[in-house]
Structure 1
Amino acid sequence: MRADVYARVTDAIVAAIESGVARGKDWRMPWHRRRDPSGSPMLPVNVARGAAYGGVNTLALWAAAEARGYPGGLWGTYRQWAELGGQVRKGERAATVVYWRFPDAAKGGEAEDGEEVEEGARRGPWARAYAVFNAAQVDGAALPRDAAPRLPEAARIAEAEAFFAALPGLDLRHGGNAAFYSPGTDHVQMPPFADFRTVGGYYATLAHEAAHWTGHPSRLARDLTGRFGGQAYAAEELVAELGAAFALAALGFTAEPREDHARYVAHWLGLLRGDRRAIFTAAGKAQAAADWLIAAAKQRAP
């Protein structure tokens, strides 16, 4: 059953990536989120708790929303929607999220959908799948007011500049025509701002390289060779890609496709198809990178 949880989530994400590639020139990955016209947070949020999903659940719900055309990011279980007076429409398909149980949770507590955790249950950590539905699949629910700030574009750019400037120890250099992180010199290299086609593309690229930068031994000490062997490079690129998307979404920005994405897609699909747990590991490492960047910037913010 646990293996089925990994397979279901991975298969949904692989299908979303393949769908994005099939669009041709307009291709997008599940994490390339268009700006939400409904005003809902760009990070998927649980309607009952008001808290954003994290890690692989963020990616899974982005993928579901992209594949099915949902405009907003509010999700909940059947029971949670019912408690808000809502009714999931007949025939609607649920998306899958994963709730992790850890050893101390086996003493009794609450699961994500409000279901009690039985005392003496199996010692974890282990994954349990839950079915959730988007607000677009529900009729009659009294939706909570979205308190997420919606800033004008000019303010968003200023906030992005302040965010990256606040990262402690980030050696950011501009010049040349390539963006990369150099572990040897521990610096991030970016082409000049004027060389980017869009402002969003610049910040998405900078976030990607900053996510790589978090893996340095003095920060998160991320080494994927033990887990992924010869596929560690592809896995690290996926971690940086997702970490950038998670961080940008938490800050109120959208991630845009990078011009070099196409050469990574085949490697990512091969990695995910060959290892059903790979996306869980990658998303967890990516969430850690995003969390580190946000926490570090907050410590330095005025």
Structure 2
Amino acid sequence: MKKTSRQFTQSRGDRPDLYQQVTDKIIVAIENGTLPWRKPWRTNKPRISPNAAMPCNGMTGYLYSGVNVLLLWIAAAEKGYEANRWLTYKQAQAVGGHMRAGETATLAVVFKPWDKQVEDTDGKPQLDDDGNPLKMRIPMLKPLYLFNVAQCDDLPDSVVGEPPADAPEQDVTRVDEKIQEQVNTMVEACSVQFDRIYQDKAFYSPGRDQIVLPQVRQFRTEADYWSTLLHELVHSTGHAKRLNREGIALTSRRFGDPLYAFEELVAELGSAFLCAQLGIFGHVQHDSYLESWLKVLHEDKRAIFRASKQAREASEFLLTPLAEAEMGTTESAVAA
């Protein structure tokens, strides 16, 4: 029997609310005690545990960002995937891969442009000077379904990205000197005052534009120290002279209010993104904010999207000096 277009369409009211679907996934993960941005700090694998690394597309190498990082981290943790590479069904097919029977896709999202008809206050279409319908381009949230390479057979090694068999095991409590230098470069590029004092608090003071941390030896591991520094660095990007983020720039914010909790969520996500990209496996103790975060997410289904976006902006801001330095080194080598 021929299927009509009616069978393939949904009314606007029947369409799934992607904002709510994504938010619900994050809420469930938090309530289950498995924060999607908290990474496993130890691994018996000779490589970094993949759900602790930034998820990427196995074909293009594109690093997923924003809320998609959280969704893919959740899936990796829940299903035990040991690869951080993902593909669409068509991509897997294109390189000769075959999806195993019974495997299901992981929901991710993508914003796609949509031309909306502009209407006046009476609901009538507005026209431009030539009499053509006036349209406004707006981003529309669409689902993107991805499969982990662990769900596929017959994929080329270049897509799976298996590490060398002789790759050394990593001590995840330590931080390589090169990575330490990279974080120090971020601090210097921000021109934020940074002090280490023998005391028991780590914080960023917007008024003084100052980061204060305990001494390195006071932390449980070396990695904990560097991940905490990144957390406070993300806070510092909110200063009015940097990204001018409401949760930092507004002097009216107070501990315990929604704005304060939201800013802590941004810093938590931003530092997780940075740790994953740099290869730092530390832990920042901010469990006291869990209830506040849940309250924010329950009350606003778009909050996690805004927090992820601001966290991405902060991490990109901090990583820019590293990219510029690497580009300068490459250009110097070419010139030589």
Q: For the superposition of Structure 1 and Structure 2, which TM-score range results when normalised by the shorter chain? A: 0.7 to 0.9
Tell me if 1:172 matches 2:194: yes
How big is the shift at 1:295? Answer: 0.5
CA distance in 2, matches of 1:54, 1:293: 15
CA RMSD of aligned residues (A): 3.0
Higher mean Cα deviation, 64-73 or 233-242? Answer: 64-73
Structure 2 length-normalised TM: 0.74
Tell me the matched-pair count: 277
CA 141–296 in structure 1, closer or farther in 2 if over 3 Å, else same:
same
CA distance in 2, matches of 1:135, 1:214: 35
Partner of 2:298 in structure 1? Answer: 273
How big is the shift at 1:204? Answer: 1.1
Partner of 1:109 in structure 2? Answer: none
Structure 1 length-normalised TM: 0.82
CA 121–132 in structure 1, closer or farther in 2 if over 3 Å, else same:
farther
Partner of 2:23 in structure 1? Answer: 10
CA distance in 2, matches of 1:235, 1:94: 30
CA contact (8 A) 1:166 1:300 kept: no
Partner of 1:124 in structure 2? Answer: 138
- Determine helix, strand or coil for the equivalent of 1:144: helix
CA 128–143 in structure 1, closer or farther in 2 if over 3 Å, else same:
farther
Residue in structure 1 matching 2:61, options 29, 50, 57: 50
Partner of 1:113 in structure 2? Answer: none
Divergent runs of 4+, >3 A: 35-41, 145-156, 297-302
Segments of 5+ residues of structure 2 without an aligned counterpart are: 1-11, 116-133, 330-336
CA 188–147 in structure 1, closer or farther in 2 if over 3 Å, else same:
farther
Tell me if 1:32 matches 2:55: no
CA distance in 2, matches of 1:7, 1:83: 32
Partner of 1:112 in structure 2? Answer: none
Partner of 2:85 in structure 1? Answer: 74
How big is the shift at 1:196? Answer: 0.3
CA distance in 2, matches of 1:156, 1:257: 13
Counterpart of 1:172, as a letter, is F
How big is the shift at 1:9? Answer: 1.4
CA 33–243 in structure 1, closer or farther in 2 if over 3 Å, else same:
same
CA distance in 2, matches of 1:208, 1:148: 29
Tell me if 1:212 matches 2:239: no
How big is the shift at 1:62? Answer: 0.7
- Determine helix, strand or coil for the equivalent of 2:63: coil
CA distance in 2, matches of 1:72, 1:65: 8
Deviations 1:184-230 (A, max 9, x none): 1001000000000011111111110000011001111111499x995
Q: Which of 1 and 2 has higher RCO (CA within 8 Å, sep 6+)?
A: 1
Partner of 2:258 in structure 1? Answer: 231
CA contact (8 A) 1:89 1:137 kept: yes
CA 187–286 in structure 1, closer or farther in 2 if over 3 Å, else same:
same
CA contact (8 A) 1:164 1:297 kept: no
Counterpart of 1:221, as a letter, is N
- Determine helix, strand or coil for the equivalent of 2:137: coil
Q: Percent identity?
A: 36
CA distance in 1, matches of 2:154, 2:163: 22
CA distance in 2, matches of 1:277, 1:283: 10
Partner of 2:149 in structure 1? Answer: 135
Segments of 5+ residues of structure 1 without an aligned counterpart are: 22-27, 105-119
Partner of 1:248 in structure 2? Answer: 275
CA distance in 2, matches of 1:249, 1:51: 15
Deviations 1:213-272 (A, max 9, x none): 11001111111499x995111110000000001111111223x3323x221111111211
- Which has more radius of gyration? 2
Partner of 1:191 in structure 2? Answer: 214
